[in-house]
Amino acid sequence: MTQERRLVLAVAIHQLISWGTLYSAFPAFIVPIEAELGWSRASIAGAFSTGLLASGIAAIPAGRWVDRHGSGGLLTVGAGLAALLLAAWSAVDSLVLFYALWIAIGITHAMCLTDPAYALVTANTRDPRRAITQVSFITGFCNALFLPLGAVLVETIGWRPALLVFAALQLLPSVVAAVALRGLRGSLAGSAEGRGLLRAALRSRVFWALTVAACCQVFVNSGVMFHMLPFLDERGMALGAALAIIALHGPIQVASRVVLVALGPRGMDSRRVGLFGFVLLPPAMAMLAIAPPSFPMMVVFALLFGISGGLVNIVRATAIVDLLGRAGYGQISAAMSMAMVLPRVAAPLSLGLLWEFAGGYGPMPWLLTGMATVAGLAFLVAVLAARGQPPLTTASGTS
């Protein structure tokens, strides 16, 4: 196995487990915590949302660290600290402490999820687009593995012991980073140059168009995943059928990434892949508005939505390289991630308020269709604005 393949495998294992224990499995703990401690579901979910906000605030400092010192240490410490915080969560019985723990867990998100890992991949591989796609192929199984695992553990041994199991499992990414990712470059720019590149990115139409596209897509994705089950219930679909539709999302995303890898260089162009992925999103949302809620029609929706998500989630990482350049990736990607936190947190709440105001989910698909359309147009603007533009430098002006 080549050094580059070992790096990709190590990053993939690190991200799969970290995303699983620190993000994907959270819903499995809501009901048992509510039952034992008497907290409302809103307050439990609020702690998770607070953690996401903390991760956004911590993203820029984490990106600066990556540009100066590399990602290996941050990935090691962040994963290890997360394991300790999961163990502390298993003993919590105070809502205030629960919120404090999730603020700290949110900070570890910024230290060890996605951006530092992809910055390391970008700086240490010959073809970062292919390497990121390979990593995301493995991490695409995260929800399918860790949410059921969390539910089984909670059911069999209880939620507190289940968290201790996850804490022990979370130590593995820390060990992987310490052994396999030590001493690698974190970015193609030092911290000072990285700040200059970030300032240049903030003056760039390409960056802002990419950020608008990413924020709109995250709003749509977060809103759909949160409200899909009650939406289908309101439309009269049986629970088993609705769960089957939702369960298709992860495998379809993974399948779309397999196709990208199989296509080779043709599947690595983030411009073409991104445009195709964003084009599929508005029709998917429009189907929720106008298609009858039959199982075959919702399977078509799941195909469109899953393929779009599988492609766009990769493009959010690789388009920075293709449209802005590889240098300063840590801080530039962190700035984009910080902007994406607000729509990710706001979508479930705002769509819930829309449901209350309208007395049902009728307007929701139309709003999501509009957001999806804006996302596609913004990505098109980014692609057109980047034509003929050289990679960012600290001397870059407007583009």
pLDDT in tens, 328-371: 777 888 889 889 988 988 888 888 889 888 998 999 999 999 99
pLDDT in tens, 306-326: 999 999 988 888 888 888 887
pTM: 0.81
Residue tagged 């445009």 (tokens):
275
What is the pLDDT of the chain when averaged over all its residues? Answer: 88
**Is it the case that residue 192 has pLDDT exceeding 50?**
no
In angstroms, the Cα distances linking 13 to 123, 273, 334, 362, 371 are 19, 25, 21, 41, 33
The torsion of the CA quartet 147, 270, 120, 88, rounded to 10 degrees, works out to: -20
Q: What angle is formed at CA 357 by the lines to CA 356 and CA 362, rounded to 5 degrees? A: 85
**Is it the case that residue 42 has pLDDT exceeding 90?**
no
Tokens standing for residue 385: 């604005």
- Residue 187 or 381, more confident: 381
Q: How far apart are CA 338 and CA 54, in angstroms?
A: 9
**Is it the case that residue 8 has pLDDT exceeding 80?**
yes
Going from the N-terminus, what domains does the chain have, and what CATH number goes with each?
3-187 (1.20.1250.20), 193-385 (1.20.1250.20)
**Is it the case that residue 392 has pLDDT exceeding 70?**
no
Q: What angle is formed at CA 283 by the lines to CA 277 and CA 287, rounded to 5 degrees? A: 135
